Structure 1
Amino acid sequence: MNTKQLERMKNDKGFVAALDQSGGSTPKALKNYGIGEDAYSNEEEMFKLVHEMRKRIITNSAFTSEKILAAILFKVTMNSKVDDKYTGDYLWEEKGIVPFLKVDEGLDEEKDGVQLMKPFKHLDDLLENARERNIFGTKMRSLIRENNPEAIKKIVRQQFEYADKIGSKGFVPIIEPEVDIHSKDKAEIEKVLKKYLLEELETFKFDYPLMFKLSLPEEANFYHDLYNYKNTIRVVALSGGYSRKDANAKLAKNKDLIASYSRALTEGLNASQSDEEFTKTLDFSIEENYKASIEG
């Protein structure tokens, strides 16, 4: 584990850029960027286009370590290059931004109001690939839609089981049990979720660090208790479908909670924009996300 990167993730100010759209979410990301499905005829062409989008963001003068701590990548992005360097190396060596990798293989079918992660079939190989690409940590997402305590407990248990495997390999896992922002029981779900997260941390027997990525809570500072455990180095928030404006209004009310946005980061960016327009739009987004991340 890179100790400089660890200290940065624990102590520096900023937020996390989520650039990890995978096969299922890439078409929507490209559409929001102004590139329709008629622009590509297969997955290879699609991923090439999204890498160009991400490369345009990463290499932009507004995308700096002054306000961005880390960036989460997808496997294809990790194994693609930016200016003759693999993306993770470019981020750290040229920008001072810590690289993470999305490692889950998507969501399983909904059952009992939740979607567990599909079983990880290629985790060992993917982590070995990540080691070769100098990746610092990982991210994996589950989804909770209804207040079903037993199902929520399964979500948390699965997250920690994989976090244990990942942490033992020298990576910092981000645990992400997302709560659907449209759930009518969102506040109650969050209470159950936090109960099980704290229970896992109480019995956690390992020394490696963890991060959490959680939906913006209904109650300000609701997840701050996670910092009471030595393993927790950061708690970050996903926008989950909120606009950037609404997400940041909620975020700013939470102490020590920082942004880890995807759509709310790239909101307003378009492939047809001039370099000047693109930079201005990206700079505004980064500034807004950074301010909300340090205000809490």
Structure 2
Amino acid sequence: MNQSQLDRMKNGKGFIAALDQSGGSTPKALAAYGVTEDSYSNEEEMFDQVHKMRTRIITSPAFSSDYILGVILFEQTMDSKVEGKYTADYLADHNIVPFLKVDKGLAEQEYGVQQMKPIPDLDETLRRAKERNIFGTKMRSVIHEPNESGIKAVVDQQFEIGKRIIASDFVPIIEPEVNIHSEDKEKCEEILREEIFEHLNGLSENENVMLKLTLPTKANAYKELAEHPRVVRVVALSGGYSRDEANEKLKENDDMIASFSRALAEDLSVDQSSEEFDQAIKNAIESIYDASVNKK
């Protein structure tokens, strides 16, 4: 465990950039960026296009450790290079902490939730992540309805895998997303909070996690989770909110910082000049940073 990176994640000012679009979300992310599906003919070319997009973001002068604490990477991004260095090494050289998305996507909805698909090669992925100097991991489930058994199953799975990740000397980001369109979103969040608490209380003193949670309906609903001694940081996903909406909601939550994906990149385009692109990403980064560190 890199202690300086752990200290930065626990105490630093800034936010985490989520650049880990994968599978079905990659074509959508590229399309929003202006790269249509006729621009690539297979998966390899698609990931080449998305790596170019991510490289452009990461190497922008605005993408600075003054604002960015960490970055969540996709597996191909971890194995790709930025300016001649593996991505995690490039980030670490710029005082930005690298994380790796390790889940394989979502299972079909059952009991009002979508658990993660099995991760059969997790141990091998973690071994390679250690070689690539990755600090932590991220894995996502989704909650659609306030079904207690479904939400319990999601949190059980997250922490079961999370403990395996901790045992391999990483800090896992536990991400049980609550669908922002859920008709009973606040009730989902209440059940989720209690389930997470129960698991946090079962962790030993050397088992630490981060939590990535949907911006809650009730401000500061997750404040007690953020104060738990086993929680390094609570970060917020934008979940489909626009950047302006997400920023306003984030400002209402004292102990949350951003970990935005779509909301970070929503104004970026492949057709922008270098100056236009850098200004657009600068505006996004500064506004998300402000929402992460300056509260109402």
Per the normalisation by structure 1, the TM-score is 0.99
For structure 1, the residue ranges without an aligned partner over 5 or more in a row are: none
**What residue is the counterpart of 1:35 in the other structure?**
35
Question: Does the 8 Å CA contact 1:253/1:295 hold for their aligned counterparts?
Answer: no
- Residues 116-131 of structure 1 aligned to structure 2 (within 5 Å): 116-131=115-130
How far residue 208 of structure 1 moved from its aligned partner, in angstroms, is: 2.5
CA distance in 1, matches of 2:3, 2:200: 23
How far residue 203 of structure 1 moved from its aligned partner, in angstroms, is: 1.8
Q: How many residues align?
A: 295
CA distance in 2, matches of 1:9, 1:129: 22
**What residue is the counterpart of 1:200 in the other structure?**
199
- Residues 31-180 of structure 1 aligned to structure 2 (within 5 Å): 31-93=31-93, 95-180=94-179
How far residue 206 of structure 1 moved from its aligned partner, in angstroms, is: 5.0
The residue type paired with residue 152 of structure 1 is: I
Question: Does the 8 Å CA contact 1:99/1:136 hold for their aligned counterparts?
Answer: yes
SS in structure 1 of the partner of residue 49 of structure 2: helix
CA distance in 1, matches of 2:255, 2:67: 15
How far residue 23 of structure 1 moved from its aligned partner, in angstroms, is: 1.9
SS in structure 1 of the partner of residue 213 of structure 2: strand
The residue type paired with residue 102 of structure 1 is: K
How far residue 231 of structure 1 moved from its aligned partner, in angstroms, is: 1.2
SS in structure 2 of the partner of residue 141 of structure 1: strand
How far residue 205 of structure 1 moved from its aligned partner, in angstroms, is: 2.8
CA distance in 1, matches of 2:243, 2:27: 20
CA distance in 2, matches of 1:65, 1:89: 14
For structure 2, the residue ranges without an aligned partner over 5 or more in a row are: none
The residue type paired with residue 255 of structure 1 is: D
Per the normalisation by structure 2, the TM-score is 0.99
Q: CA RMSD, aligned part only?
A: 0.7
**What residue is the counterpart of 1:292 in the other structure?**
291
Describe the superposition over 1:39-76 as per-residue Cα deviations: whole angstroms up to 9, x where unpaired. 00000000000000000000000000000000000000
The residue type paired with residue 60 of structure 1 is: S
CA distance in 2, matches of 1:150, 1:11: 35
CA distance in 2, matches of 1:170, 1:230: 18
Runs of 4+ in structure 1 off by over 3 angstroms are none
How far residue 202 of structure 1 moved from its aligned partner, in angstroms, is: 1.5
Identity of aligned residues (%): 58
